[in-house]
Homo-oligomer: A and B are copies of this chain.
Amino acid sequence: MGQFERETAVEKVGANRWRGELCRGWRIGAVPNGGYVLAVVGRALAEALPHPDPLTVNAFYLAPTALGPVDCDVELLREGGNTSQASARLYQEGELKVLVTAAYTDLDRLEGPSWSAQPRPEYPAWEDCHGGNSKLEFAQRVAVRLCHGAGVFAGGQPSGGGEFRGWVAHGDGADPDPLSLLMFADAFPPPAFDVVGLVGWVPTVELTVQVRAKPAPGPLQARLFSRHLSRGVVEEDGEYWDSQGTLVAISRQTAKVRLPR
């Protein structure tokens, strides 16, 4: 069992309640990474629902989480043949911190047409990419290797493009699974850093992850980009491909860009 699987584990402790633990190793500053927190909720949903895999998952972050136990209350909203929907609430010491709404499915059974507007972009190989922000505690668990946009972390200026490209993988070498995509969707640095510089604080308001396929083994190829920063409000859009070139997820979050005063 890999670190991600172990540190997102949940135990059923009531009719609709699962208990988990936010573990050391995943924090950005003092706060556990929002994607990691979402994956803990996602695992409770996977256990509660008749379908095993996330299809689309939205989370509103109401209050910062902290290390320690969490309770996830799951409410089944609708159960269909191909998809089931649920709401989940993550509490710490009785305080509601994250509200999640999700549709789960069986990814192996998706059927229908496929198409992409663009081919997968070509990146330098994992072995040839090194940039990133390895000073974060989060880097103990997740390996981020940037091939575009890393200059701002090496003391350079933002490129002004608002985009990071590179690779992302479990730090312990475990292979990605669908639940881990909920975490990887929040693993890259905020693209606003590539616009306004290394401002300290880009809190997530809400995050949606759409999962499209079970990832093949190996690092994920990823890009995270912003296009519109409006008086401190920005979207962060992600695309994630597996080692076979299959698009396995896309993500979008609303974030706020807080400049130092």
Could you list which residues of chain A lie within 8 angstroms of chain B, going by C-beta atoms? 55-56, 58, 60, 62-63, 77-78, 83, 85, 87, 96, 99, 101, 103, 110-118, 161-163, 195-196, 205-206, 208, 210, 212-213, 225-233, 235, 239, 247, 250, 252, 254, 256-259
Contact = CB atoms under 8 A, between A and B. Distances in A.
A74 B162 CA distance: 36
A118 B227 contact: yes
Contacts of A235: 210, 250
A101 B101 contact: yes
Contacts of A205: 55-56, 83, 103
Contact of A254 (B56, B225, B227, B231): B56
Contacts of A114: 229-231
Contacts of A196: 113, 115
B230 A110 contact: yes
Contact of A117 (B77, B161, B230): B161
A213 B230 contact: yes
Contacts of A118: 227
Given A205-B55, A208-B58, A227-B118, A232 B111 contact: yes
Contact of A60 (B101, B113, B117, B195): B101
A3 B105 CA distance: 39
A196 B206 CA distance: 32
Contact of A257 (B85, B112, B232, B256): B112
Given A78-B62, A110-B230, A206 B115 contact: no
Interface pairs A-B: 7 shortest CB-CB:
A112-B232, A212-B230, A110-B231, A117-B227, A115-B229, A56-B254, A62-B78
